[in-house]
Amino acid sequence: MLEKKPLVTHMYTADPSANVFNGKLYIYPSHDRDIEMESNDNGDQYDMNDYHVFEMDDMNQAPKDLGLALHLDDVPWASKQLWAPDAATKNGKYYLYFPARDKDGIFRIGVAVGAAPGGPFKAQKDYIKGSFSIDPCVFTDDDGSTYMGFGGIWGGQLDKWVSGSFDPEGKEPEGNVPAVCPKIAKLSDDMLEFAEKPRDLVIVDEAGKPLQANDHDRRYFEGPWLHKYNGTYYFSYSTGDTHRLVYATSKTIYGPYTYRGMFLPPVLGWTTHHSIVEYKGQWYLFYHDCELSKGINHKRCVKFCKLSYNADGTIVPMTP
């Protein structure tokens, strides 16, 4: 098994969104370019410009690169930085959701449509109305309703929308005040727009109090993922500047979600971003680190490991 080993070695890949379509596992990562750039908190070093999709039906074999799925040049509204994507399917079509900066440098979320899980995908002419920030994760519930969680602070600009509109000088709150929340919105039946205005996905502590801005080990930063296990909704995410993968649970899709703990400590490299999926009766965690580049933060590689649950539904912690 390739557990905890780089899955893709001919290019740098990161932010893996793993989904099962038609009985096969598909990985939708971002594609780190092999370029030399100085790192900064704005994320300028993550200057990705295309997506490749990878097909994996055997956990002992390296995934197959299905080729170019979408290029920045083919996204009419975008100017740069195709960051972490996700995918979904409905009515025989496949939808690739992705963030990028618009012509004004503001991160928006777009969608591209394809006839197969690997694409190629054709981008819509404009981004999703009312979308902002980064890291879309798409979850389809048992009743067929589909939801998108999204958002990332700092370079992802979520903190610049606290007032409800884009403020280029906006910053995350500090101190003992509620932290910036990720967002969640139901998608329209055609999967191309929001069916409602995005709302806060609130994460609370064991006493029901929203996590505070200065609680860097638990509060939200970026990299959301939604999945369901035994009737419970799991919202997992990265704490960003403390480099943890943590999770919270709820009995309703909109929350609030109660913080439950860390399941993956920091990896090699500055970012950590993941997905959780069940495939052939086994749960897996997909994540990335910088092993291939020996620690260069914008040259990452996708990995995976088995994930399991305790009897009470808590996730058994793993080691990178």
CA atoms within 13 A on the CB side of 103: 5
Q: Do the Cβ atoms of 70 and 94 come closer than 8 Å?
A: no
List C-alpha distances in Å: 163 to 173, 186, 256: 12, 22, 21
Can 15 be counted among the known catalytic residues?
A: yes
Sign of CA dihedral 194, 231, 278, 4: positive
SS3 of 156, please? helix
Judge residue 57's burial from the number of C-beta atoms within 10 Å of its C-beta, 0-12 exposed, 13-18 middle, 19 or more buried. middle
What is the distance between the alpha carbons of residues 72 and 82, in angstroms, rounded to a whole number?
Answer: 7
User: Tokens 């500047």 map to which residue?
Assistant: 241
* Catalytic member of 3, 15, 32, 217: 15
Q: Which residues make Cβ contacts (< 8 Å) with residue 197, sequence separation at least 6?
A: 130, 185
* Catalytic member of 32, 86, 102, 222: 222
Nearest to 130 by CA among 192, 48, 222, 203: 192
What is the distance between the alpha carbons of residues 247 and 292, in angstroms, rounded to a whole number?
Answer: 27
CA atoms within 13 A on the CB side of 256: 14
What is the distance between the alpha carbons of residues 165 and 7, in angstroms, rounded to a whole number?
Answer: 40
Can 47 be counted among the known catalytic residues?
A: no
Judge residue 166's burial from the number of C-beta atoms within 10 Å of its C-beta, 0-12 exposed, 13-18 middle, 19 or more buried. middle
In this structure, the chain runs to a length of 320
The conformation of residue 176, written as its DSSP 8-state character, comes to S
Give the active site residues.
15, 222
